[in-house]
Amino acid sequence: MIKQLAKIVLTFFLLILMPVTLFSQDVVDVLDIYEESRVIHDDNIGYEVYPVALNDSTLNELDGYLRRQFAIAPEGRSPLEIIRNYENAIISKGGEILFNTRDPDNVIIEDADLHDHFNMNRIGHTRNYEYMRIRHVGHDEYLSGRIPMPDVDVYIALMSGRVENRSVFELVTLHAIPMEMGMVTMDLLYDGLSHRGRVAVYDIYFETGESVVKEESSDALEVIAQYLNENPDDLYLVVGHTDNVGDYLMNLELSEQRANSVAKLLISEYGVEESQIMPVGVGPAAPVLSNDTEGGRARNRRVEIVEM
């Protein structure tokens, strides 16, 4: 019965659904969809967090603009062939393969299997689509990679498998770039702290190599202070981060000084209780992107509010 249903579902998609246009205003094409594949769903999710597997025990949770494309491969193509094609495409664009496995069912990271992490921020569609979700088709393959671009690092996650005698796959593309400046809002703080226990702030400004907070940071500080004052029983770290340009110990000291400067302003000018926040500097020790590009370095220079 299940095999018959799978065959009916696959035939329905192949004969009725038209290919989806691949153009996107949010996440442009970096890798082409595997040749002659039929795209069933092409979803631009928007700015979100997405976990990319670095190995069989480590995830890198990244913020950025997320796109998910689900497709049926041409006849005669195997899930492994699709994976190998994307490996070559990533490398040909100067990228690197982060992790791949032929057995994602048995990869458990942070108490959840790899499928659960892969499926994060997926849009539900029809019941038929849910049946064809890669999690249930078997013979899965998983691949993750990174392609450095001039102003952004592009992360790729791919899962492929079979329905009957046809291969299906889902390509996840994440443009891991900072949100636009001036975007610190109460909603952003509540969302980041309630879901991930942290939120990165990019519109607190300093001169290069300096720790004095610039005046144009006042809007961000006001929003942060409002959030802290509305949650007086919760404790938070104010964490300074730098890129890796220059000496490590110099960057570590600079990040500590910047965290201290932000904390002092929140206390002295915005009414935050001193006992509620603790400044910490970690220098370049916790990058969110590679420091190989200017876009990555800009992403790594940040202040984070972290739940204690």
Q: Give the integer Cα–Cα distance in Å for 185 and 227.
A: 9
Residue 136's contacts (CB-CB under 8 Å, 6 or more residues apart) are none
Do 22 and 120 share a domain, yes or no? yes
Do 172 and 192 share a domain, yes or no? no
Do 156 and 302 share a domain, yes or no? no
Structural domain including 276 reads 186-307
Structure tokens at 37: 């594949």
Output 185-194 pairs: Cβ under 8 A, ≥24 positions apart: 185/223, 186/223, 186/226, 186/227, 189/223, 189/224, 189/227, 189/305, 190/227, 192/305, 193/227, 193/305, 193/307
Pick the last residue of a domain from 146, 176, 206: 176
Reported as a single tens digit per residue, the pLDDT across 52-70 is: 998 888 888 888 889 999 9
pLDDT recorded at residue 12: 37
Q: Is the pLDDT of residue 9 over 60?
A: no
Highest mean pLDDT pick, 144-158, 191-205, 246-260 = 246-260
Does residue 181 belong to any structural domain of this protein? no
Residues, the chain, total? Answer: 308
Do 24 and 132 share a domain, yes or no? yes
Do 291 and 158 share a domain, yes or no? no
Pick the last residue of a domain from 176, 208, 240: 176
Angle in degrees, CA 13, 17, 22, rounded to 5: 115
Do 54 and 155 share a domain, yes or no? yes
Do 170 and 122 share a domain, yes or no? yes
pLDDT recorded at residue 151: 65
Does residue 160 belong to any structural domain of this protein? yes
Q: Give the integer Cα–Cα distance in Å for 284 and 251.
A: 7
Structural domain tally of the chain? 2
Q: Give the integer Cα–Cα distance in Å for 260 and 159.
A: 44
Does residue 271 belong to any structural domain of this protein? yes
Does residue 267 belong to any structural domain of this protein? yes
Do 237 and 169 share a domain, yes or no? no
Do 195 and 233 share a domain, yes or no? yes
Reported as a single tens digit per residue, the pLDDT across 102-153 is: 888 888 888 888 888 898 888 776 444 444 554 444 558 999 999 887 667 8
Does residue 244 belong to any structural domain of this protein? yes
Residue 287's contacts (CB-CB under 8 Å, 6 or more residues apart) are 241, 243, 244, 296, 299, 300
pTM (2 d.p.): 0.57
Task: Evaluate whether 198 touches 307 at the Cβ level (below 8 Å).
Answer: yes
Do 115 and 258 share a domain, yes or no? no
Pick the last residue of a domain from 129, 156, 176: 176
